[in-house]
Amino acid sequence: MKGKIVLFIFSFFLGVIVYLCVFDSNRLFSNKDYRLISEIPYVPEKHSVDLTIVGDFLYEEPYYDALRNGEDNDLYFSLVKKYFSDDLSIGNMEVVITDGTMELSGVGYSFCAPTFVGDQVIDLGMDVMSTANNHSNDRGLAGRVSTYNYFLDNSNVLPVGTYDENRDVSRNVIDKNGIKFGFLSYTYGTNVSVDSSLRYSLGLYRDPDTGVISDYYLDLIKNEVNALRDNVDVLVVMVHWGDEFTFTPNSEQEFLANYFNELGVDIVIGNHSHSIQPIKWIHGEHDTLVYYSLGNFVSADYIVDRTGETFRNAYQFGLLSKVSVTKIDDEISIDNIRSIPIIDYYDTNLRNFMLIPFDQYSTDYEVSHYLYGSNFNRDFINNTFMSVIDSEFRNEIN
């Protein structure tokens, strides 16, 4: 009897608990509590990356001569290195790097750099270097492979536009701060013709035999863009194009820029003119930011005898540009575009080579530049910058 009473009491209290938990849950979770839970705002997932974009790394003999005469190897990038502490830095490697078996040269439009040049690029903080340009075949396939391997073996720098045994663009991807970037690179051709059996090893957009943009190369570009497009958030194409010593893009550049836009490319980074060219948006079903040319970043030719005074002076500075890329959930935005001139300085004795941001290009630097007597001065730099680059892209870089 006593056991039945205990069982009854236990069953009673158990029933009360079940009632409160199941049948009267509103008493446990009041409307007030429910409202607090339901009113918590949704916070979208946000990622951001800052890009630093510069032009040609064109190492030439006068700089090597200065180093042989005791110039400090660290001087050259000392005033610009601060700009490369951001997330992703991109440039064009206009010279091949030796593997120790090739003739070194910084003259005669045939360029092969010593390995310390690769170290400089790495130490500066570069992340992506285009290796497809008109000097890519200056030392044949061996030069392309040597340059490619130097970066892959000694750093995290991604060489884009040249390939080893197989042409696999899937490796041209960098995941940065939760945003996945894909890279491709193409050149109009090379100074030294590439054998037909080796063309797989270089990104080309013209047929080397005819010199025209054939359907074969348009399809090749399309297939490589498509191979990356669905697997990345931002697709960047670097392209060596246009006419040397010009401030305006030609019809081929505009055709290709629009073609890249139709394929869904987000950013086009152009080079080859050795002078700055405009930055433009192409708007349509897809928006594409196009740098027609950033000009030279590294250079050391004080003669430039293939052109007149204007473009000999334009050869001495290029653009450094910053771009903000933001990803909110799956939506990408590209904005906050800023650009400044960077002057390639060397004095009247062809010494003290250094890159100087325009806001630090003092009167002392200006009047002691080797080409100051040929009207290379602050007014020329600023007037060229203001006339070529639209105001929306001329914002200061802190």
Mean pLDDT calculated for residue range 43-60: 94
What's residue 398's pLDDT? 80
Token pair for 178 = 């939760």
Evaluate if residue 31 carries a pLDDT over 60: no
| Other CB atoms within 10 Å distance of the CB of residue 40 | 7
Summarised one tens digit per residue, pLDDT across range 345-362 is: 999 999 999 999 999 999
Evaluate if residue 324 carries a pLDDT over 90: yes
Specify whether the CB–CB gap between 96 and 57 falls below 8 A.
Answer: no
Token pair for 202 = 């270089």
The pTM for the full model equals 0.90
Evaluate if residue 185 carries a pLDDT over 60: yes
Cα angle 328, 185, 293 (rounded to 5 degrees) comes to 85
What's residue 19's pLDDT? 46
What's residue 326's pLDDT? 98
In the predicted model, what is the mean pLDDT of the chain?
92
Summarised one tens digit per residue, pLDDT across range 219-270 is: 999 999 999 999 999 999 999 999 999 999 999 999 999 999 999 999 999 9
The amino acid occupying position 155 is S
For residues 242 and 232, give the distance between their C-alpha atoms in angstroms, rounded to a whole number: 28
Alpha helices in 19-88 (DSSP H): 25-28, 31-38, 61-68
Summarised one tens digit per residue, pLDDT across range 139-166 is: 999 999 999 999 999 999 999 999 987 8
What's residue 44's pLDDT? 80
Mean pLDDT calculated for residue range 48-67: 97
Start-end ranges of CATH 3.60.21.10 in the chain? 50-393
CATH architecture of structural domain 50-393: 4-Layer Sandwich (3.60)
> Taking Cα atoms as reference points, which of 244, 259, 269, 113 lies closest to residue 184?
269
